[in-house]
Amino acid sequence: MSRLAGKVAIITGGARGMGASHARLFVKEGAKVVIADILEEEGQALATELGENAKFTKLDVTNNANWEQAVALAEEAFGPVNVLVNNAGITMNKSIEEMTLDEYKRIVDINQVSVFLGMKAIIPSMKEAKGGSIVNISSMNGLVGGAIGYTDTKFAVRGMTKAAALGLAHYGIRVNSVHPGVIETPMIVQEETKDAVNEFAKYIPNGRVAKPEEVSSLVLFLASDESSYSTGSEFVVDGGMTAR
């Protein structure tokens, strides 16, 4: 039985990496998916690959008007939205001494403000659908320290998730955060970072970097009715890193 049959989902940062993995699994499990990203060529190619149950829309997650357009497209194509996965995010390999205010604000806008905009934009559609599930992708660095800017915003996503869960529970809208560790995505498998990642993997209790599909399985659970009594909670998928 398809675990997301009848569900309509929007996935940000859905063109590649973890977002693309989520989209593939969601469609496989019966959902109709809007892939939202600024990467038009990759996003459209993925939507074509996934067939009639997937659409692509160009979405700048920091732009409120873009959010309204994405929700409208989903409703027109598939109906009211049941699931939102706030997956888009960036990081920057700079110290607090090196980072400029503009660079810091860019990380905040993409990693934090976008989550607020996405949750706010989706509420009317989920109310029409009589409920829904919002999955906010944070990080293990939303639980422990890491890069400046990235850590700050991922902690914020964790707090926003709890606040929204309390504020939206009476609508039947659940809100949870997912905290991945080191995942094999385009962001970390670039040639210049590959050696550092392989070295870091030696310190992961599970002894390896995770595949995107391992995160997608958890996101699927939270998107489905199987997690109907889970809201305002953190779900960690980090190979044991934060257990130390």
**Secondary structure (DSSP) of the chain:** --TTTT-EEEEETTTSHHHHHHHHHHHHTT-EEEEEES-HHHHHHHHHHHGGGEEEEE--TT-HHHHHHHHHHHHHHT-S--EEEE---------TTT--HHHHHHHHIIIIIHHHHHHHHHHHHHHHTT-EEEEEE--GGGTS--STTHHHHHHHHHHHHHHHHHHHGGGTEEEEEEEE-SB-STTT-SHHHHHHHHHHHTTSTTSSPBPHHHHHHHHHHHHSGGGTT--S-EEEESTTGGG-
Q: Of 125, 134, 150, whose CA–CA distance to 71 is shortest?
A: 125
What pLDDT was estimated at residue 188?
A: 66
What pLDDT was estimated at residue 1?
A: 59
What pLDDT was estimated at residue 144?
A: 96
**Location of structure tokens 């959902």:** 31
**Location of structure tokens 């960690």:** 236
Q: Domains plus CATH for the chain?
A: 8-237 (3.40.50.720)
Q: Of 159, 163, 138, 165, whose CA–CA distance to 235 is shortest?
A: 138
What pLDDT was estimated at residue 193?
A: 62
What pTM did the predictor assign? 0.96
> Backbone phi, then psi, for 89, in 5-degree steps?
-175, 160
Interatomic CA distance for residues 244 and 241, integer angstroms:
6
Interatomic CA distance for residues 107 and 145, integer angstroms:
16
Kindly report, residue by residue over 102-151, the tens digit of the pLDDT: 999 999 999 999 999 999 999 999 999 999 999 999 999 999 999 999 99
User: Residues of the chain whose pLDDT is less than 50?
Assistant: none
* Strand 173-180, strand 234-237: pairing: parallel
Q: Of 67, 86, 88, 180, whose CA–CA distance to 132 is shortest?
A: 86
- Which are the catalytic amino acids? 150
